[in-house]
């Protein structure tokens, strides 16, 4: 509940200030690791609506509940001159079922993610070439007991990614479509919640993609896919995917509702559930 109070205050505050001038929707939303993107995939976009002489701030709260887990993320980001993005996200992952089973009721995995992204070339909307960005996510696991027990090697790790994103004006069928392909180099187990590296290996390059369509100026639908790898022999990881519906009534607020399938996580199979993310920007 406390989260929502803060969020409400933030949104009230945000809506009294001016946002940058980029077109509605082009700030994307905050993905689970705090970077600008869609639910689970970082895009080449820079957070907020700032153009080359503007700076925007965004904040988001995200929740995903599956049968056996509850994921939460709080994040803040600054988008500087549509060039650089700094972000910070705190994630928690409640082991509702596993915790009691291993004699640790109330067990929660936690990590902080510091993100930096730089736009290298292109503009999401106006150039023929896609917008291209390079990003880094430094991840620090805050509760290494369980990751250590299941064989993770490190409590911190760095993800590197390169991302290309494009908005297609009037394509397809007069709607504005959008697409992102991101290549990520990572050693993370379950995005870092289970630490980094393990007995089966460490660094991998994974493909992530996000595709969608604006139905009108304030509603968008799409899906995300994120390839994952298994470094820990105690449980295989699944690729993640989701379908989302985003509502972007203005440059200050956006809400994303999604249905996410994160597959098998730490031996518990078939984890699916609803995802909700609320973003504020100014």
Q: Give the C-alpha separation, 52 to 28, whole Å.
A: 17
Alpha-carbon gap, residue 147 to 49, rounded angstroms: 38
Nearer to other proteins, 55 or 97 (CB): 55
Largest CA distance in the chain: 56
Nearer to other proteins, 134 or 175 (CB): 175
> Closer CB to other proteins, residue 56 or residue 96?
56
Cβ proximity to other proteins: between 82 and 137 the closer is 82
CB of 269 to other proteins, least distance (A): 16
Q: Please, which residue, 111 or 123, has the CB nearer to other proteins?
A: 123
For other proteins, the closer CB: 72 or 85: 85
Minimum CB–partner distance for residue 278 and other proteins (Å): 24
- The DSSP element (H or E) to which 146 belongs, if any, is helix 145-149
Shortest distance (Å) from residue 49 CB to other proteins: 9
Q: What is the 3-state secondary structure (H, E, C) of 224-235?
A: EEECCCCCCCCC
Q: Is 103 or 174 the residue whose CB approaches other proteins more closely?
A: 174
Give CA torsion, residues 226, 240, 70, 234, to 10 deg.
-110
CB of 218 to other proteins, least distance (A): 10
Give the span between the Cα atoms of 32 and 277, in whole angstroms. 9
Q: Please, what is the minimum distance in Å from the beta carbon of residue 15 to other proteins?
A: 17
Chain residues in the site for other proteins (CB under 8 A): 20-23, 51-54, 82, 123, 125-128, 130, 166, 168-177, 179, 181, 207, 209, 211, 216-217, 225, 227, 239
DSSP 64-120: EE-SS-EEEEEEEEEEETTTEEEEEEEEEEE-TTHHHHTT-TT-EEEEEEEEEEEEE
With respect to other proteins, which residue has the nearer C-beta, 5 or 216?
216
In angstroms, what is the minimal distance from the CB of 33 to other proteins? 20
We find the least distance from the C-beta atom of residue 44 to other proteins, in angstroms, to be: 13
Helix (H), strand (E) at residue 240: strand 240-247
Q: How far is the CB of 52 from other proteins (least distance, A)?
A: 5
Nearest to 110 by CA among 59, 62, 72: 72
95-99 long-range Cβ contacts below 8 angstroms, 24+ apart: 95/68, 95/69, 95/146, 95/266, 96/68, 96/69, 96/70, 97/67, 97/68, 97/69, 97/268, 98/68, 98/266, 98/267, 98/268
């Amino acid at each position: 509940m406390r989260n929502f109070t803060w969020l409400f205050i933030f949104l009230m505050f945000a809506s009294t200030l001016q946002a940058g001038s980029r077109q509605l929707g082009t700030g994307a939303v905050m993905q689970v690791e705090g970077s600008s993107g869609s639910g689970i995939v970082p895009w080449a976009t820079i957070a907020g609506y700032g153009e080359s002489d503007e700076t925007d701030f965004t904040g988001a709260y995200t929740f995903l509940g599956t049968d056996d887990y509850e994921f939460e993320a709080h994040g803040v980001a600054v988008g500087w001159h549509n060039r650089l993005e700094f972000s910070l996200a705190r994630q928690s992952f409640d082991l509702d079922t596993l915790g009691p089973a291993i004699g640790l009721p109330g067990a929660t995995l936690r990590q902080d993610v510091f993100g930096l992204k730089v736009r290298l070339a292109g503009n999401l909307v106006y150039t023929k070439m896609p917008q291209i960005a390079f990003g880094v996510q430094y991840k620090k696991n805050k509760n290494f007991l369980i990751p250590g027990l299941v064989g993770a090697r490190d409590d911190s790790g760095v993800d590197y990614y390169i991302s290309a994103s494009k908005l297609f004006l009037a394509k397809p069928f007069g709607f504005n479509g959008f697409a992102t392909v991101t290549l990520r180099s990572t050693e993370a187990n379950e995005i870092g919640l289970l630490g980094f590296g393990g007995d089966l290996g460490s660094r991998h390059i994974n493909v992530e993609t996000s595709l969608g369509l604006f139905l009108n100026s304030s509603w968008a639908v799409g899906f995300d896919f994120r390839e994952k790898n298994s470094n820990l022999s105690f449980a295989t990881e699944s690729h993640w995917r989701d379908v989302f519906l985003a509502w972007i009534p203005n440059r200050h607020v956006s809400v994303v509702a999604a249905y996410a399938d994160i597959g098998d996580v730490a031996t518990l199979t078939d984890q699916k559930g609803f995802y909700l993310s609320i973003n504020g920007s100014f």
